[in-house]
Structure 1
């Protein structure tokens, strides 16, 4: 499953071509045969080293750690709209317990992981002791290492940089993001990189653009799937964010897992949908010919 323009279609692998940018890159990655082969090799390595199928982790800031992202998918009946084909993907991840706390089981959708926290920049993810108060993490362990060790995720969804825009130099941010991706891959987890929502000034200049280009470039360099969330937002009213804000918006009823046409006018709903589409595409690649089961 891939996006061609803004239409979800079934297609083959992307042919090699000119370098991508945030405008050209599809929302859901079109993976070349070479990248698919690299992912299969990473996956095989990860399974041999204890990575767990049916488990994914999240690395990010408040856009990833808030209650509207993925958590509504953890339980209950969902409105899939015209995307009923994603229901088996939801059920697949619901079945796998990532961690139990006080006899309550949490799956990948609703577990509070160590890799995402409000206000974080890329540096926090790889800074020793950034989660020092967490009993599950070592006092000098980085949040990323703590999350990878505890969850042992088959896939790691990474969207970090919103708080770096205009604060961290692009060169430093690029080094930090590359470090994050390399570390995830060294564990044998599939690193998925997401672009950031736009941060436009009154003159229309998007301050996030150079950071998004770094994300695109690092994904290409490390053969990591690119989830172009920026492009998905650009098609929405107000680019899918609240006026004057950088966070994806939600419907008035706060149902961010509503995938009806009405629900998909909101940024967080589109983020949840496209996250599922990315996971579904990777599942087909990593577990073919079994596909969804």
Structure 2
């Protein structure tokens, strides 16, 4: 039996559709390949396309910071210190002694900018502890090694006088020698000897510093005899050097003072004339006038006689810039000048009429109710003086009326006087430092008018008379004039 031929099977529609799609796709691929193989038309640029794959994303290596050496910060050693609040009548020397210091150097170094000559009530003072070492003073570099100085074989003991706080220790027996430091009152001293023919002592301080001091401000205990040594001999000084050229209560004479004097000389000012600017305390007949009247006794201060002779005629002069009730505003106001001033202020009138080289200025008591204006007015007085070639000597006052009778901080006006003297580099006479140790501060019962002896001997300088305010005013004013005469006006005379 023969097998029956199979009839062709018709594929399902889906399969047929699949085969058709494959056939079409293959034909399209073949056509594309033929087109690629065909030569490019003339002028065409043949570009061959290659299959590409995306570039792999770069893997970032972990960044390791280069090791840096952290600097070691050494902690700044903080000196151990305490603080002290200034009390009434305190001086920097009193404070230094209270805390066991022989000099002011450590306290000044611990309080930058402090004025050692004047403190204000309530001012805070840093007191260094035992760990505090003040900056060393610059020393010239030696070109060869020097053996240490041998210890003195013989000396006597002495001490700075109680009222001579601020005594300068100098590198040589001369007022022109460098100041090493300032010594407090009652500072103990080893006295090696006296310079032949001079009032200078060679001494050693408690901390071993060697230098020279003015013998007038040192007491020597007992009946000891000063040692003598050829090494201390020096040529005899000129006669004018017999008196001190500096005082603990007088600031140093700055180079600007010399410049002011030269300006005045160019204007025609008289070198041997001075003016007084102030209130009733300066107008009073007990102040300076007795020197021209001949009612004075210099006592142990005979070295001041040449200065009395030099300024003869200025002591009894009546200044329109010194009158009862004057304050800093009135001395600048033409309304308070005498008629002969022809519209000038009392200050300018006095300067133009007298042509002085120096002005002794003591104002501030009358500013107790207008103390807020004191600084601006006082600046004008200083600047007018400098412009007219007059050396202004600024003087502190005995009272604190601006605090007692008004609302100013204690010691405000005296503080401003000291501040402006330093700022303008003009002389400061700290009269307050002198009179505060006198009975009742050198004043009568009201606390601001200076007292004087009942026999009117306000220009007598013996110890019993120097317990009065006007006597100390006259002595210190004459001492300032003496220093200015010998250092600025007539150097070397």
Decide: shared fold, TM above 0.5. Answer: yes
Residue 286 (structure 1) shift? 1.1
- Matched with 1:184 is 385
2:370 is the alignment partner of 1:168: yes
1:178-228 Cα deviation digits (max 9, x unpaired)? 0000001100010110001123789xx997611000000111111110011
- Matched with 1:62 is 280
Residue 136 (structure 1) shift? 2.4
* Preserved CA contact (<8 Å) 2:261 2:489: no
- Matched with 2:460 is 258
Within a 5 Å distance, the mapping from 1:1-293 to structure 2 comes to 6-7=163-164, 11-12=175-176, 26-31=248-253, 35=254, 37-76=255-294, 78-94=296-312, 107-131=313-337, 134-138=338-342, 140-165=343-368, 167-170=369-372, 172-199=373-400, 209-291=411-493
CA shift in 2, pair 1:206/1:78, >3 Å: farther
* 2: CA distance, partners of 1:65 / 1:246: 14
* 1: CA distance, partners of 2:454 / 2:464: 11
* Preserved CA contact (<8 Å) 1:233 1:240: yes
* 2: CA distance, partners of 1:285 / 1:207: 37
* Preserved CA contact (<8 Å) 1:28 1:277: no
Report the 3-state secondary structure (helix = DSSP H, G, I; strand = E; otherwise coil) of the residue aligned with 1:28: coil
* 1: CA distance, partners of 2:269 / 2:344: 19
* Preserved CA contact (<8 Å) 2:361 2:393: yes
Residue 13 (structure 1) shift? 7.5
* Preserved CA contact (<8 Å) 2:296 2:457: no
Report the 3-state secondary structure (helix = DSSP H, G, I; strand = E; otherwise coil) of the residue aligned with 1:192: strand
Give unpaired runs (5+ residues) of structure 1.
Answer: 18-24, 95-106
Give unpaired runs (5+ residues) of structure 2.
Answer: 1-159, 169-173, 182-246
* Preserved CA contact (<8 Å) 2:399 2:447: no
* Preserved CA contact (<8 Å) 1:57 1:113: yes
Residue 11 (structure 1) shift? 4.3
Tell me the matched-pair count.
259
Query: How high is the TM-score relative to the length of structure 2?
Result: 0.49
Once the two structures are overlaid, the 10-residue window that deviates more, 207-216 or 263-272, is: 207-216
Query: How high is the TM-score relative to the length of structure 1?
Result: 0.81
* 1: CA distance, partners of 2:449 / 2:276: 17
Residue 129 (structure 1) shift? 2.4
Report the 3-state secondary structure (helix = DSSP H, G, I; strand = E; otherwise coil) of the residue aligned with 2:321: coil
* Preserved CA contact (<8 Å) 1:64 1:116: yes
1:108-135 Cα deviation digits (max 9, x unpaired)? 100111111001111001112211xx24
* 2: CA distance, partners of 1:224 / 1:16: 22
CA shift in 2, pair 1:14/1:52, >3 Å: farther
Residue 16 (structure 1) shift? 11
Question: Cα RMSD (Å) of the superposition?
Answer: 2.6
- Matched with 1:103 is none
* 1: CA distance, partners of 2:385 / 2:309: 25
CA shift in 2, pair 1:59/1:213, >3 Å: same
* 2: CA distance, partners of 1:208 / 1:108: 35
CA shift in 2, pair 1:152/1:267, >3 Å: same
CA shift in 2, pair 1:141/1:278, >3 Å: same
Instruction: Flag the structure with larger Rg.
Output: 2
Residue 91 (structure 1) shift? 1.3
* 2: CA distance, partners of 1:116 / 1:63: 9
1:226-269 Cα deviation digits (max 9, x unpaired)? 01111110111111111233111001211100100011000000
